[in-house]
């Protein structure tokens, strides 16, 4: 029997609730489909930081490297540790160290879910660059604390980094409806974004079967709300992808439904699967977090591991659950009730 | 009789159509309210660039400086001149040179307009920093054209720049419903955005009557779609404000309804009024552009000039027009028909 080694990082707040749910679903579907998981859980989080002075141990990255995949809940609890510290201490270094350069986030309405838009007909796959750009962490502050203080933050885009995410986007478009939207802000950012546009332009010749269109980020944000049905695959930088995928989560009914995969396409290191939502400290441990985004992220993990049939079964179980009105209305059902429904739908 | 000196910059594409409409409305309301306009029009645009090699003459800024206000249509026609050239050659230098540091954009549904959201109940005022930040234009490209190419783009935030826009935001909140949302991305951008958050935090003590909340840009994008009624005044950096205001335009029914004012609050130089939409080359000169955003921007200009009664009359005329179903459905009515309706509503 094939056993996959999974590192579980529940993280903070509702991250713990929703990863417990996802783990239960994954273990059940594995048992029914002839494989299993060996799950090692690590308590790295803001609480861990308060105790140890760092979000993970010095050998954290090395510890994770030998796993087949990582399942993460959520990181951050601003009242305990500033977000700028907690995220740069755990989530962001994993994405970068394991070259998880493609962050994949699907946006569509699950059955029974009513989104905030009048329009219900869309199926968007956002591909977000996940290792560089506006999240490079380069910058500084001068004349700190004085009236003359200046803070600078530098976005760094490499040709390799931009080209590989665009190629990934073109491939995804090819495997779907053949349309790629590339998102920049080249009318205002004349170095980084013009660079990205040029590479998009050059690659489009190689993927002549894909219809590629460049949009400015502002126009794309409007389009996702005005005409989401006009979009297929959307590829964007780290920051723009971050913004568009929360917007995507919103139009699909809320953060409780938005799944994501941080993929290392070469498989030179583990990929990581996580719901798009944060740790939501205000509802932590009340047992009311919606686990669907985490379970859906688990399905993306199964897909990545090659367990396509099992992935399909988890998605079908999620859809059967929301179609029955369970977990489909934000705040209505408890975490356990939703999880039980998904588990029974697997029978 | 008071005469205001106005510089008219129709710019490109539909900028010409909509500024003609706004000018007609402004002249009529002036005549009825005992003041007048001396309008000087300048053809600075992408066509001008093709002829002269620059978007405006070398003394363009100096030419504009003596006016009481500037009314601008739209800048950009990518097939003629790259956006990165046209915008950095005309729109962006005016905002910076005239220290129009507060870009004000109201988002609410005009009567008769159906937005894309199920929710129709919101009234948001976005205040966008307009002179620095992500639009600083600092950056470069190294190893250009090689596999090792790197492009960097540096956001520059000054204490003076951040503090003045936040103060402006606090003041606006005070004059409205007392709620200010400050938008950053301090969990990922630990220099610039943490700096902004710190200043927000510090100023909040001075404006203890204003309820201020910090949001990450991704969460705010989702909120504008999920719970727009929870927002009053939103203050954000140049780029984040750009994105949120196109999103704001979307939820208010489209770019045809989104007005803006680029304000120099000290009045040390002219302020500029412009619709949020772009030049829309595909529909240029077809006579089908919606002039409402430009006319509304004209009303904001009247307000800024102190002609509050006239501003109110223009807004009432716009509202009477859309309430009658004219100009309220994107693409339905011609520019002239909408303009005529606003003009007659002024009678
Ligand atoms: C928590 C934060 C740093 C993170 C990001 O911006 O990448 C999150 O918003 C996400 O989208 O995964
Ligand atoms: C045309 C472009 C440079 C401009 C901006 O990004 O500021 C526009 O989108 C706007 O919002 O006024």
A187 Cβ inside 6 Å of ligand 2: yes
Residue B274, strand partner residues: B260
Final residue of a structural domain among B230, B251, B272: B251
B227 shares a domain with B124: yes
- Does the residue B109 lie in any domain? no
Signed CA dihedral, A335, A341, A344, A346: sign only: negative
- Domains contained in chain A, number: 2
Classify residue A176 by burial, with Cβ atoms within 10 Å: 0-12, 13-18, 19+. middle
**CB–CB of B183/B217 below 8 Å?**
yes
Name the closest residue on chain B to residue A196, using Cα atoms.
B151
Mean pLDDT for chain B? 97
Q: Collect all residues with Cβ–Cβ distance below 8 Å to B112 and sequence separation of at least 6.
A: B322, B323, B324, B325, B328
Q: Which residue's CA is minimally distant from atom 12 of ligand 2?
A: B276
**Residue that is written with structure tokens 């739209």 in the block:** B74
- Does the residue B241 lie in any domain? yes
A190 Cβ inside 6 Å of ligand 2: no
- Regarding beta strands A102-108 and B2-11, do their DSSP bridges make them parallel or antiparallel, or are they unpaired? unpaired
Q: Do A191 and B158 touch (CB under 8 A)?
A: no
Kindly give the distance from the C-alpha atom of residue B242 to the centroid of ligand 2, in angstroms, as a whole number: 6
B285 shares a domain with B241: no
Angle at B301 between CA B155 and CA B316, to 5 degrees: 125
Helix axes B192-204, B159-175, angle to 10 degrees: 50
- Does the residue B322 lie in any domain? yes
What gap in Å lies between CA A36 and CA A307, rounded to an integer? 11
B241 shares a domain with B136: yes
Final residue of a structural domain among B227, B251, B275: B251
Name the closest residue on chain B to residue A159, using Cα atoms.
B149
- Does the residue B48 lie in any domain? yes
B138 shares a domain with B38: no
- Quick one: average pLDDT of B66-89? 97
Kindly give the distance from the C-alpha atom of residue B131 to the centroid of ligand 2, in angstroms, as a whole number: 12
B223 shares a domain with B148: yes
In chain B, the largest separation of any two C-alpha atoms, in whole Å, equals: 65
Q: Do B250 and A225 touch (CB under 8 A)?
A: yes
A44 shares a domain with A78: yes
**Residue that is written with structure tokens 């490499």 in the block:** A158
* pLDDT (tens digit per residue) in B97-143: 999 999 999 999 999 999 999 999 999 999 999 999 999 999 999 99
What gap in Å lies between CA A50 and CA A54, rounded to an integer? 8
Q: Give the domain range for residue A97.
A: 1-108+256-347
Q: Which ligand is nearest to the CA of B83?
A: 2
* Three-state SS annotation for B264-303: CCCCCCCEEEEECCCCCHHHCCCCCCCCHHHHHHHHHHHH
Best mutation target, A55, A103, A114, A222, to test chain B (most B CBs within 10 A): A222
Roughly how many angstroms between the first and final C-alpha of chain B, as a whole number?
Answer: 21
pLDDT class of B245 with cuts at 50, 70, 90: very high
Which ligand 1 atom sits closest to the C-alpha of A278? 1
Q: Do A218 and B118 touch (CB under 8 A)?
A: no
- Does the residue B108 lie in any domain? no
Chain A contact set for B192 (CB, 8 A):
139, 151-153
- Regarding beta strands B69-74 and B2-11, do their DSSP bridges make them parallel or antiparallel, or are they unpaired? parallel
- Regarding beta strands A233-236 and A123-129, do their DSSP bridges make them parallel or antiparallel, or are they unpaired? parallel
Angle at A147 between CA A155 and CA B195, to 5 degrees: 35
Name the closest residue on chain B to residue A250, using Cα atoms.
B222
What gap in Å lies between CA B126 and CA B247, rounded to an integer? 11
| Residue B279 phi, psi dihedral angles, 5° rounding | -85, -15
B236 shares a domain with B323: no
* Three-state SS at A155: strand
CB pairs under 8 A between A and B: 209
* pLDDT (tens digit per residue) in A9-41: 999 999 999 999 999 999 999 999 999 999 999
Signed CA dihedral, A332, A246, A259, A178: sign only: positive
- Does the residue B110 lie in any domain? no
A244 Cβ inside 6 Å of ligand 1: no
What gap in Å lies between CA A252 and CA A225, rounded to an integer? 11
| Residue B66 phi, psi dihedral angles, 5° rounding | -85, 0
A8 shares a domain with A72: yes
* Cβ count near B129 (within 10 Å): 28
B232 shares a domain with B121: yes
Q: Collect all residues with Cβ–Cβ distance below 8 Å to A263 and sequence separation of at least 6.
A: A100, A101, A102, A103, A104, A271, A304
- Does the residue B52 lie in any domain? yes
A199 shares a domain with A217: yes
A180 shares a domain with A167: yes
Report chain A (347 residues): mean pLDDT per 10 consecutive residues: 97 98 98 98 98 98 98 97 95 98 98 97 98 98 97 98 98 98 97 98 98 98 98 98 98 97 98 97 95 98 98 98 97 97 97
What gap in Å lies between CA B90 and CA B46, rounded to an integer? 10
Classify residue B142 by burial, with Cβ atoms within 10 Å: 0-12, 13-18, 19+. exposed
| Helices assigned H by DSSP within chain B | 14-32, 46-52, 60-65, 83-89, 91-97, 159-175, 192-204, 217-226, 238-251, 292-305, 308-323, 335-345
**CB–CB of B321/B338 below 8 Å?**
yes
* pLDDT (tens digit per residue) in A109-156: 999 999 999 999 999 999 999 999 999 999 999 999 999 999 999 999
What gap in Å lies between CA B233 and CA B125, rounded to an integer? 5
HSE value, Cβ hemisphere, 13 Å, CA-based, for A132? 18
Chain A contact set for B159 (CB, 8 A):
146-150
B281 shares a domain with B234: no
Helix axes A308-323, A335-345, angle to 10 degrees: 120
* Three-state SS at B103: strand
* DSSP track, A234-259: EEE-HHHHHHHHHHHHHHTT-GGG-E
What gap in Å lies between CA B67 and CA B87, rounded to an integer? 21
What gap in Å lies between CA B19 and CA B10, rounded to an integer? 6
Final residue of a structural domain among A236, A251, A266: A251
Nearest C-alpha neighbor of B278 from the set B90, B65, B24: B90
**CB–CB of B336/B287 below 8 Å?**
yes
Q: Which ligand is nearest to the CA of B193?
A: 1
* pLDDT (tens digit per residue) in B31-52: 999 999 999 999 999 999 999 9
- CATH number (domain holding residue A189): 3.40.718.10
- Does the residue B107 lie in any domain? no
Residue B312 has which token pair?
Answer: 């109110």
Residue A13 has which token pair?
Answer: 């707040």
B218 Cβ inside 6 Å of ligand 1: yes
């Amino acid at each position: 029997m094939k056993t996959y080694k999974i590192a579980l990082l529940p993280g903070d707040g509702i991250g713990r609730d929703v990863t417990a749910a996802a783990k239960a679903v994954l273990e059940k579907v594995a048992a029914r489909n002839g494989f299993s998981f060996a799950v090692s859980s690590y308590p790295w989080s803001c609480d861990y930081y308060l105790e140890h002075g760092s979000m993970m141990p010095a050998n954290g990255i090395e510890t994770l490297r030998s796993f087949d995949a990582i399942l993460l809940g959520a990181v951050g609890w601003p009242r305990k540790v500033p977000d700028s510290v907690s995220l740069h201490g755990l989530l962001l270094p994993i994405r970068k160290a394991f070259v998880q350069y493609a962050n994949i986030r699907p946006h569509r309405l699950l059955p029974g879910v009513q989104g905030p838009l009048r329009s219900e007909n869309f199926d968007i796959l956002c591909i977000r660059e996940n290792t560089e750009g506006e999240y490079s962490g380069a910058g500084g502050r001068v004349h700190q604390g004085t009236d003359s203080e200046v803070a600078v933050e530098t976005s760094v885009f490499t040709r390799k980094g931009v080209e590989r995410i665009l190629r990934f986007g073109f491939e995804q478009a090819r495997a779907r409806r053949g349309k790629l939207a590339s998102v920049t802000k080249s009318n205002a950012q004349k170095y980084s974004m013009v660079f990205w546009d040029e590479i998009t332009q050059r690659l489009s010749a190689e993927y002549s079967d894909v219809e590629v269109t460049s949009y400015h980020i502002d126009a794309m944000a409007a389009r996702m709300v005005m005409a989401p049905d006009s979009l297929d695959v959307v590829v964007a930088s780290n920051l723009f992808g971050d913004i568009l995928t929360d917007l995507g989560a919103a139009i699909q009914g809320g953060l409780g439904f938005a799944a994501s995969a941080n993929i290392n396409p070469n498989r030179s290191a583990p990929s990581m699967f996580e719901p798009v939502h944060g740790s939501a400290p205000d509802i932590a441990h009340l047992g009311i977090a919606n686990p669907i985004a985490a379970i859906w992220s688990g399905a993306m993990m199964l897909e990545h591991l090659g367990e396509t049939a099992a992935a399909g079964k988890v998605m079908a179980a999620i859809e059967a659950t929301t179609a029955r009105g369970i977990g489909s209305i934000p705040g209505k059902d408890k975490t356990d009730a939703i999880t039980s429904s998904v588990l029974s739908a697997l029978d």
